[in-house]
Structure 1
Amino acid sequence: MTLGLAFLKIPVTDLGRAVDFYCTGFGLTADFVSDEYGWAQLGGADMGMALYVAGKGGGDGVPGQDRDFHLAADDLEALLARLTPLTATAAIVENDDGSRSLDVKDPDGNGLRIMARS
């Protein structure tokens, strides 16, 4: 049996602002957005990805908590160039184990780590 990441949900406070950040910064698409339900489904990733406003049906997570997932990308430098106009928090990190990652915080303070795909 092989396990993989099927779906990623991220709690946010302002759905429109978060959708803009993820679509502009990561090149994702807003496939479905409902302000009424506080929910947005994003396309363009290798997994299902959604943003939700806590307490509106998507879950009760707290925006800005520590990350508990890592994403992967082929070109960290190109991703950094896309994110730099959107946030001052994006930076490439050389990790102690020899791997490289791009660490960034979204507008709600959710920490994201994007690992360089080997």
Structure 2
Amino acid sequence: MLGVALLKVPVTDIDHAVAFYEEALGLAARFVAAEYGWAQLDGASVAIALYVPGRGGGDRSPGGSVDFHLSHDRLDELLSTVRRAAPDAAIHDNDDGSRSLEFTDPDGNSIKVMQRG
């Protein structure tokens, strides 16, 4: 059976990105190797990796959709935490009846967190 090992997000500055994701989403850095342009964060159901393109983690350019959505049980509570780090954070009522919290990180990556349940 296949599973997901980690989700990768391209960034320009590892230390700045780690601080943002820790503050915005409450994730915790498990491993940071700025010299290799790589960090791994815990606190989600799957590890989230941040990487500087061209330094071994991948070559996607920062910015735009990261091609995955996170999930959370209480979007309204999460919004108040995320908004401290990402002032553009907003909850959307989607056409399919779902709700999502959407914001951008400092590198312009679009992050979407879907309401669970």
TM-score above 0.5 = yes
1:58-96 CA-partner distances (Å, limit 9, x unpaired): 110110032311110011011110011112210000000
Q: Which residue of 2 aligns with 1:28?
A: 27
The CA deviation at 1:4 is: 4.5
1:33-62 CA-partner distances (Å, limit 9, x unpaired): 011100001011100210000111111011
Q: Which residue of 2 aligns with 1:53?
A: 52
- Quick check: which one's helix share is greater? 2
Q: Which moved more, 1:58-67 or 1:90-99?
A: 58-67
CA distance in 2 between partners of 1:78 and 1:23 (Å): 16
The CA deviation at 1:5 is: 3.3
Percent sequence identity over aligned pairs: 56
Aligned residues: 117
For structure 1, the residue ranges without an aligned partner over 5 or more in a row are: none
Whichever residue aligns with residue 19 of structure 2, its letter is D
For structure 2, the residue ranges without an aligned partner over 5 or more in a row are: none
What SS does the corresponding residue of 1:19 show, helix, strand or coil? helix
CA distance in 1 between partners of 2:94 and 2:3 (Å): 23
Contact 2:24 2:86 in 1 (8 A): no
What SS does the corresponding residue of 1:72 show, helix, strand or coil? strand
- TM-score calculated relative to the size of structure 1: 0.94
CA distance in 2 between partners of 1:6 and 1:95 (Å): 28
Q: Which residue of 1 aligns with 2:76?
A: 77
The CA deviation at 1:13 is: 0.4
CA distance in 2 between partners of 1:5 and 1:113 (Å): 18
CA distance in 2 between partners of 1:67 and 1:41 (Å): 16
CA distance in 2 between partners of 1:75 and 1:21 (Å): 20
CA distance in 2 between partners of 1:106 and 1:100 (Å): 20
Whichever residue aligns with residue 76 of structure 2, its letter is E
What SS does the corresponding residue of 1:78 show, helix, strand or coil? helix
CA distance in 2 between partners of 1:29 and 1:83 (Å): 15
Contact 2:69 2:114 in 1 (8 A): yes
What SS does the corresponding residue of 1:85 show, helix, strand or coil? helix
